[in-house]
Amino acid sequence: MAQNADVVFAIVGFPKDVREVFLGPTGALAGSKAGTVLVDMTTSEPSLAKEIYDAAKAKGVHAVDAPVSGGDVGAKNAALSIMVGGDADMVEAVKPLLECMGKTIVHQGPAGAGQHTKMVNQILIATMMIGVCEALLYGWRAGLDLERVLQSVASGAAGSWSLSNYGPRIIAGNFEPGFFVEHFLKDMAIALAEARRMNLSLPGLALAEQLYASVKACGWGKKGTHSLQLALARLSNIDWQSR
């Protein structure tokens, strides 16, 4: 956790960590004076973001939820997309600091709205990654040069950030994390819980969650989300790394 004057930023792993860091007996809120702004950049539960906001407000403290997207590439280049929930004036107050980390900073609405937007982001990625991995698996089995395939499809209608950034890593067999599988599973669990609460059926997300559960079961929970390729290849009795 980094502190700059009266603004406190934190990004941790799981909702239980967020709760401890912000609401614990020795957490950020307990040590904050009136007027402090707490900014949680973890991908976490929208309901927890609202709980932090309400607890902070009762103490004269402000809270903003500001999860990010862009992976390790975006972080290294200070080009993250930051989805922000909270009071408009507080979002404006911390925006210059957020601009040190990201290129796209959008106020999505009240407390929790940033987290809901991040769930939209994760749902998009979850099913998109299945397509990326299955397409490359198909291309390899068909005997194509996968690097040439990317030259054709990455700039067309099928192009995506995931294909352009993770496709070359998959082809090279580099599954080191930009974002951990186990953290992605956490995000999908949050999105599925929220979907149930809103009486939504999201079968694509449910399928992705189960496929990623198999990735973790194979011992790849600390690998990058693109290691889904390894589990999907295994379903066809293919060892992707030794192909």
CATH 1.10.1040.10, the chain: domain bounds: 116-242
Which residues have CB under 8 Å from 204's CB, separation 6+?
123, 126, 127
Position 2 pLDDT exceeds 80: no
CATH 3.40.50.720, the chain: domain bounds: 2-109
The model carries a pTM of 0.92
Please report, as a single letter, which amino acid is at residue 48.
Answer: L
pLDDT tens column, 9-25: 999 999 999 999 999 99
Position 5 pLDDT exceeds 80: no
Give 2-109's CATH code, choosing from 3.30.70.20, 3.40.50.150, 3.40.50.720, 3.30.300.30.
3.40.50.720
Of the listed 50, 118, 186, 216, which one is catalytic?
118
For residues 71-87, give the mean pLDDT: 92
Cα separation of 232 and 211, whole Å? 8
Confidence of residue 148 (pLDDT cuts 50, 70, 90): very high
For residues 175-196, give the mean pLDDT: 97
Cα separation of 119 and 209, whole Å? 13
Position 3 pLDDT exceeds 60: no
| 242: three-class secondary structure by DSSP | helix
CATH architecture label of 116-242:
Orthogonal Bundle (1.10)
Q: What is the pLDDT of residue 4?
A: 46
For residues 231-236, give the mean pLDDT: 97
Cα separation of 50 and 64, whole Å? 9
Q: Is 118 a catalytic residue?
A: yes
| 64: three-class secondary structure by DSSP | strand
